Structure 1
Amino acid sequence: MSSIRARLLAALLAGMTVVTLLGTYAIYVNARDAVDELFDYQLRQLALSLRDQAVHHSFAPPAETVAEDFDFVIQVWNPDGVRVYFSQPHRTLPGLAQLGYASITTPDAEWRVFATRLGESIIQVAQPMRVRNAMALNAATRVLVPAFVLLPVLSLLIWLIVGKGLSPLKKLARAVSRRGAQALDPLPVARVPEEVLPVVCALNDLLARLDAALTAQRAFVADAAHELRTPIAALQLQVQLIERAGCEEERAAATTDLKAGVRRASRAVQQLLILARQGSDAESPTLQDFDLGELARSVITGHSVLAAEKAIDLGYTGHEGEVLHLRADAAALQVLLENLVGNAIRYTQRGGRVDVAATRRPAGNIVLEVSDNGPGIPPAERERVFDRFYRGTTAEEPGSGLGLAIVRAIAERHRAKLELDDSEMGGLRVRLTFPMPEHPPASP
């Protein structure tokens, strides 16, 4: 497990070391330039001071008169180019150079030379460059050594400062770890550092979503328990009626009622399971490309027998042959269509009509509609019918009140717009408008 403090310490120390080295090199270059200017000035002053002195025409001064640590070398040349004075004959020195300053390299060393005229003679003063470089390096070292000596102290300071800066994260971690499973109230944002605020806001958003999901789950469980209590009680009563039946006809009638009750309870449980899978806290839908028109026709075929029993005209009114590519959860949309078509058939009077249509609008999005000529839903109740277990005041057919809740949950997961209004036939029309696909499928 990596440590933010350790990574920051390593990065800061590495950066400081690099900057110190670069600064030391810059100091060395500047110091060398300054030393060059100073020694060039000394070369010139030394050469000019010799112009006022008599120079003996001897090859070299006595050895005992030349100090060993004297870095400057003096030469005098007569007009014929003959060296008449040489302060250090044991050194390999540059020959006669041009007047003024010059940098000359010999097998012995690099030299900085200044030459000036003394009457008809030329005085030349030279100094090895190693002396200057050594002094510049010494100046840079004086800066570099204290910097590296202070690195451990800086490391400790950085470690403490970074730890102090990360303390809000530790406080946040302690605040979260101390909470119980039911403590989903938001974390306080007062006096939270700006860098930590996005983390706190994200956690508060997560806590809010968890609270909403748990609240919905509790409400769902409570509603489910309440709604299942009635069919279970009815089943128990029907079982008692079978036990108390005095003849075969009464027993057969009670058995028939029991079977119908079992079917209603089974359908209610199945609807509850579907609704739980399609809830807001469910996993993301499995998307695939399919033809919505073909899916609608398949659902119509599956309900044709149920429609025929009530002599209901059930059909597809979309454009035949039009391919409506949609990228969505095909299984979930099949459940949605089955609920809409099944509700339309159940609530439409005998001999009525139910139409299913899937079309593409000029804008490019796809619209799915299920219309009937049944009793419809009063406008005042059209919002409430999407609530779980709610059954309208005009509902006459038995049901669990979960069908349209499932339809809304599936529509929300697909970001589809769900609308209820009056159909052209006088009944109810349910319309789903799917958003434009982000990546339309390629043409076959």
Structure 2
Amino acid sequence: MTPDTASDFSSEGPSSPAKTTTPAGVSSLIRFLRTPSLARSVVALLTGALLLLLVVNASTFLMIQRTAGLNAEVDTTWQVRRSARDLILNVEGAETAQRGFLLTGQSGFAAAYEEARLANPELLDAFRERTVGDPVGVASAEALTRLSADKFAEMSATLAMASQGQIGQAVSRVRTGDGKRLMDELQAEVTRVDDWVNATLQDRRERSRQAALTTIIVNAIAGLLILTLGGIIFLLVRRYLQDMASARAAVDAVNAGLEAKVRERTGALIRANEEVQRFAYIVSHDLRSPLVNVMGYTAELEQAGKTIDAQMTKVETLAPDLVERDALTAVRDDIPEAVGFIRASTEKMDRLINAILKLSREGRRNLVPETIDMAAMAQKAADAVRHQTEAADAEVIVEPMPTLESDRLSVEQIVGNLIDNAVKYLDPKRPGRIVVSGQDRPGGWVEYTVSDNGRGISDRDHERIFELFRRAGRQDRPGEGLGLAFVRNSVRRLGGSIDVESVLGEGSTFRLKFPKRLILVDSGDAL
């Protein structure tokens, strides 16, 4: 116990009564809480507003997190459909190459078939990875694995016969219809995957809509309650100020010949002025603070609405039959209307606060495809860091590269970020060398590489470096861990992919793979 709260015992013996002392501040607080007054009413209202704000903040945060999670689940579901379609397209391409070889005997068709056959396991692995934990997806993955293996076995057998000169036997086997049956079963399984994806998207879209509506309702009710509390406080303080003005008039009326009464009223007036100042402090600090928080969370709610709108636009573009007009109305009309109402309410409350103080004192850019000279663009990025490379005794070599039809600004940012990153993490123990190159790839793809002989990246960090706010190796260079995450996101938006090959202490190679021609949907994102 502290000296202020310990019991003092009399020396007269154990039967002496105990004496306790209460700190002056605690006594004043108890008297304040027990005595009905305007100040107590205002404090109670402010406490209620703060508690309400905490509830709103917590619920809004949870709803935003939930919405973000649902959006991520929707994106994963779309990736499942894309993986299934990539798989069936690959098998169809292999079948086309098989038929071409049987008809013409040209080795190019055999090479195309072999490339498709080797790509099939990777496509199956991608599909399995995106359906882990879902019984329907796992069953579809097993079925696709079995059917594609049977189909490639059938095609490989016919190609082997043809390679040995047994063209007639190979054609006869094709005519048995086994290959067509397997392809029909593969296409039927992909159709089942599409049906499953559609049902999953419908469920998640409904959950997202319910979460958005709940957030709107909670914030709208909270805004109304906070505005009501502010109005009540304003009325209470105004009434008090009116009473104070009446008291001043009474003091002036009885001032002559009533010295004692004047002193009494003067004391009351002084106390009243002090209380008014306390009220002004409460209003200007305690009430304005939750108001600012409401404004901030309103902005977050507005951004969440935009995110939902963007997702709904994507769903509307890719699968218009899945979109409900009520959901679109809620996202595009109801949410902005509710946010505007809350914002207008908070602005009104801010004006109320200013009035109280015056009385108390009396005074996601759309992508634009265009043909890009990649060598010229990379050289421009290299020239931009020439002063850094010269200072580090390094060189940037830009080799001839194929052109690309894509969004210029996005590609400039991707290449510039990779070159900047390579320069930043050069090894001072040896002259730096950064090489930018590129080449066409089969199937309408083009690949660009940015290689360096810098510090390199540990194997365990190859994926980590693409995550937000994550960095690898020694943290002796400025940065927030956003560059490569931004690059990967931009590459994916252009329909491409990025990979890294690196050995710690030797250097790194970043490989960018893009479709030769960028295809846009109505929303401006790449297919």
TM over 0.5: same fold?
A: no
Q: TM-score, normalised by structure 1?
A: 0.35
Higher relative contact order (CA 8 A, sep 6+): 2
Greater share of strand? 1
